[in-house]
Amino acid sequence: MGTRQGQWSLTGHHLAEANWLDVHFEAFRPEYEAMLRAIGLEPGWRVLDAGCGSGSFLPLLAELVGPTGHVTALDVSPDNLGRLDQRVASGGFTCPVVTRAGTVTALPDPDHYFDAVWSANVSQYLTDEELTAALAESRRVVRPGGLVAFKEGAGEHMSWYPADPGLLRRLVEANRRMSVQAHGLLRARELRRWLERAGLTAVWQRTTLVERWAPLSPVERTYVGDLVAFMTKTAAQLPLPDEDAAFWRAQGDPASSDFLANHPELYWCQGYVVAVGRVS
């Protein structure tokens, strides 16, 4: 099994390129769709997918709001917007869908325009100040009584077997001092409090564990292989213990029997939180 290159978008965000996002979504589709279904969208609603990536959530968003609803898909990355435009042009959505370039920290929409904002795997790219701004903007563009929902990966819930369970934690902690993204993944468990501080009410948060066991499906193998390759490159730039550095160097050969995605007893786990609040 090989790994693919190019997990960066044209904005420079790690793990934000369109092909990577599509593989990521397909590998975790059942859990991701269940998380979206749980937030409480209603037929006829106008919804903003803020930081929508390549648009993987759009078909389900359109299904949930139905033919009388409307979905706006916003992203800052030109390559993701190109993929979005192709998806919208191909049709097949159950409601009108429009695409728009923009940033979650300065939404180009009037006050109270939407019934809900959905933002998936975006907050990891934001500093604390930018997350505060993004939540304020989401609250601004949603009508009173509407919903704001932020979904994010929770870095402390990621684990695998067989491997030293401390490897990932040490990698993320070392990277946290250098990377906004690593900080954002470890901050995800606190999202409920961030929504409360933003003035949202009736806030709740739920954690979903995504667990995969060998033998992996083809898309799961691609996802795990790509993520391990990315981590290996990251590890080479960090001051890690010698034993950790040796482990990551050994992961540099995707054809090796030691490569995690190839291990016949692999257990892979990642955690995701969704925090939901209402505009008062």
Predicted model pTM: 0.92
Report the CATH number that the domain containing residue 109 is assigned in CATH.
Answer: 3.40.50.150
Predicted confidence (pLDDT) at residue 248 exceeds the cutoff of 70: yes
- For residue 205, being part of any structural domain is answered with yes
Residue among 135, 74, 81, 68 nearest 102 (CA)? 74
How confident is the model at residue 11, as a pLDDT? 37
Paired strand residues for 268: 160, 212
Residue among 115, 118, 128, 120 nearest 193 (CA)? 128
Q: Locate the DSSP E strands across the chain.
A: 46-50, 70-75, 97-101, 114-120, 142-161, 201-213, 267-278
Predicted confidence (pLDDT) at residue 272 exceeds the cutoff of 80: yes
- For residue 258, being part of any structural domain is answered with no
How confident is the model at residue 15, as a pLDDT? 53
Predicted confidence (pLDDT) at residue 17 exceeds the cutoff of 80: no
Helix, strand, coil share (%) of the chain residues, nearest 5: 40, 25, 35
Q: How confident is the model at residue 8 (pLDDT cuts 50, 70, 90)?
A: very low
Provide the residue range defining the domain that includes 130.
Answer: 18-156+179-213+271-278
Could you report the per-residue pLDDT of 85-95, keeping only the tens digit for each? 988 988 889 99
Q: Are 203 and 192 in contact (CB under 8 A)?
A: yes
Q: Are 105 and 74 in contact (CB under 8 A)?
A: no
Could you report the per-residue pLDDT of 116-155, keeping only the tens digit for each? 999 999 999 999 999 999 999 999 999 999 999 999 999 8
Alpha-carbon 25 to chain mean position: 9
- For residue 64, being part of any structural domain is answered with yes
Paired strand residues for 270: 210
Whole-angstrom Cα distance, residue 108 to residue 119?
A: 15
Whole-angstrom Cα distance, residue 251 to residue 255?
A: 9
Predicted confidence (pLDDT) at residue 249 exceeds the cutoff of 50: yes
Q: Are 91 and 124 in contact (CB under 8 A)?
A: no
Bigger pLDDT: 248 vs 8: 248
- For residue 173, being part of any structural domain is answered with no
Q: How many domains does the chain have?
A: 1
- For residue 236, being part of any structural domain is answered with no
Query: What's at 184, amino acid-wise?
Result: G
- For residue 39, being part of any structural domain is answered with yes
- For residue 124, being part of any structural domain is answered with yes
- For residue 223, being part of any structural domain is answered with no
- Cβ atoms within 10 Å, residue 79: 18
Q: Are 218 and 27 in contact (CB under 8 A)?
A: no
